[in-house]
Structure formats: structure tokens, C-alpha cells
Amino acid sequence: MGSKASAPGKAILFGEHAVVYGKPAIALAIDKRATITIKESHRDYTRIKSDDLDLEAILSPETGLKLKKGEMGILNYILKALEFYHDSTPINIKLKISIPIGAGLGSSAAVTVATIAALDNYHKRKSTLPSIARRAHRVELEVQGAASPLDTSISTHGGLIYLDKEKIEQIKGDLKDSLVIGYTRSEETAKMVKLVKERMERHPQIMNLIMDAIAHITRKARKALKSDDKECLGELMNINQGLLDAIGVNSKSLSEMIYTSREAGALGSKITGAGGGGSIIAYSHPDRTGQILESLTARGYNAMKANPSTRGVLIQ
């Protein structure tokens, strides 16, 4: 008997980093997913394999974990999720992933959510979406040391959400054919969250004011999305970007992608995710996305159109 589950990556429209300090954020699931397949194993060890990442590891109670190919990184999330089950019966775990990894698009959350859902299903455990999101958040917290529930919530529930503390509101916004993502490989999320924390410790008053300003922007963006006020939404993204720069998560390549997309007609563009490298998101009228994509790729950046996905985690 096998089991298969998938979960989407995400892009944060407003409020990354501030969300770690309890401020609201807006994020959407995108049409790129992580898929976990679990099958029974006839060997005496568990094997975790991903052809997409050229990754292979084996895990046995006697010898522990052995990495045969690739990098540990994303494996930590799968291993932490496995710990919930207190069951070392060998299984084969396969990961397929179309989300660019370590690029601020929530690959770690998507892999975690898909792993938990596939394991629940494999062990015939009935689970609810809030329970999957809660456990996935715990995994991110334990692996990274700090994480808000944003990535794991959006990957579990899908759609476009306004998250305020633990409360999730699905909002209707028209973002179809309006988003382009430019990405390079980023610094790890945990490192960027730590850098912000250190700046917070050095300049608490200033940083708290900035976090409050980001919260105001995010609340206003929720209204702009609902009323489909595109100009306002774009301008709010640009203001949010200025503040992300101020908290220390910008970089030269991110800035270049941001200005390239604005020159190509974006109404707004900003870092999405942890920053430091990673991704930008550009928002525009649908007839400008092609030009934005072209301008970014002409400068040697990876870029893709991203559409909102209403589908969160799926057992397949």
C-alpha cells in the first residue's frame, strides 16, 4: 500500500519578516508543487530519494542517517516530520518538486506539508488541515529555530490568505496573469531571520516602528486587493520594499531585479520571502507580464510567471 500527497509553494505579497514579530501578512499559493510518494520497503532501511534534487539518503535504526547523494538541507524537514510517527518500519519516500528550492518560494514548507499529509495517509490517520498546518509549523520551527506559521499555513490551505496571528482569512483578489517571480538562489531563511533579529536587538525602537509600518501597509493592501485597486496595491508593494531594505534583507541582485521589473512596467515589485538573495515578485497589468519576464531573463535572472493556486495540500 502506498500514499501520495502534494502541496504548493507560495509567494508572500506583504509582510515577510514582520510576520515573525506577530504582524499580519498576505501570501498566495502558487502553481508549483512538492509531491511526496511513500511506499512500503522490503529492505531493512528507509530510503529518501529525489531525482529532481539529485538526492538520496538512507536511514536505519542501527546506522542512523547516511547521505549517499546531494545535500542535507531539505532532508532535515522530512526527517523531523518522520519523528512524529514513532515508527521506524522501513519505507521508501520519493520527493518530486517543481518549486525552485531555497529561493523564497516556500519549498521547505511545501515539502514538510506534503510529507506530513502523505505519512498521515500512509498510517491511515485521519487528519484535518489545521492539524497538518500546526505540525508542519512545528517542523519548520524546530529545523530553522524561528519561523512564522505563514508558509506552512498557505501551503496547507492554498488560495490567497491574510494571516493575522494564528487567524487565517481567505481573500478574493484578482491576481491571475499578473505576477512574475524573479529568483536566484537565496541565503537560508534561518540566516536572514537571525540577521533581522540582530538588527532588532541593536535598534529596537526603530525596528519596531518599521515593523508597525509594514503592518499598516499589509492591512491597507488587504483592502486594496478586495477592491481590486491595482495602482494602490503596486504602490504599497514598493513602500514595503523600501522597508525590507531598511531591515537589512535586500541585496544588489534583488534590487536590480526590482528596478528591472519596474522599468518593464510593473505596478509594484518587491522581495518575496526571506531575501538576502532569493526572489522578487512583480505585479502588473496582465499585458505587461511578458515584457517583465523578458527583461529579467535578458539580464540573466531566472524568472517565471506565477499564478495563484486555489489548491492547498492534496492527498492523491
Ligand X SMILES: C[C@@](O)(CCOP(=O)(O)O)CC(=O)O
Annotated binding residues, written as ranges, equal: 100-110
Which one of 31, 54, 151, 177 is the catalytic residue? 151
Cβ closest to ligand ADP, residue 234 vs residue 275: 275
67: cell is 547521505
Among 274, 281, 282, 293, binds ligand X (CB under 6 A): 274
Q: How far is the CB of 131 from ligand X (least distance, A)?
A: 20
8, 104, 158, 182: residue in contact with ligand X (rule CB under 6 A): 104
CA-closest candidate to residue 85, choices 28, 55, 127? 127
Residue nearest ligand X (C-beta atom): 273
Phi, psi for residue 73 in degrees, rounded to 5: 0, -90
Quick check: helix, strand or coil at residue 294?
helix
Alpha-carbon dihedral 224, 226, 231, 233, rounded to 10 degrees: 50
Under the binding rule (CB under 6 A), the answer on residue 55 touching ligand X is no
Taking the complex as a whole, the smallest distance from the CB of residue 96 to ligand ADP amounts, in Å, to 13
Amino acid in the structure at residue 149 = P
- Does 151 participate in catalysis according to the annotation? yes
Q: With contacts defined by CB under 5 A, name the span among 101-109, 167-175, 192-200, 308-316 that binds Mg ion.
A: 101-109
- Closest separation between CB of residue 31 and ligand ADP, Å? 16
Which x/- pattern, by CB under 6 A, does the window 154-193 give for ligand X? Answer: -----------------------------------x---x
Q: Does 147 bind ligand X (CB under 6 A)?
A: yes
Strands (E), the chain: 3-14, 25-40, 46-50, 55-60, 64-69, 91-97, 160-164, 167-170, 179-183, 268-272, 279-283, 302-306, 314-315
Q: Which three cell numbers stand for residue 220?
A: 491597507
Nearest alpha carbon to residue 237 among 261, 254, 213, 221:
221
Q: Is 177 left (phi over 0), alpha (psi -120 to 50) or beta?
A: left
Chain residue whose CB lies nearest Mg ion = 108
Give the one residue of 6, 35, 148, 260 binding ligand X; rule: CB under 6 A. Answer: 148
Applying CB under 6 A, the residues found at the interface with ligand X are 16-17, 19-20, 104-106, 108, 147-148, 150-151, 189, 193, 273-274
Where in the sequence numbering do the catalytic residues fall?
A: 151
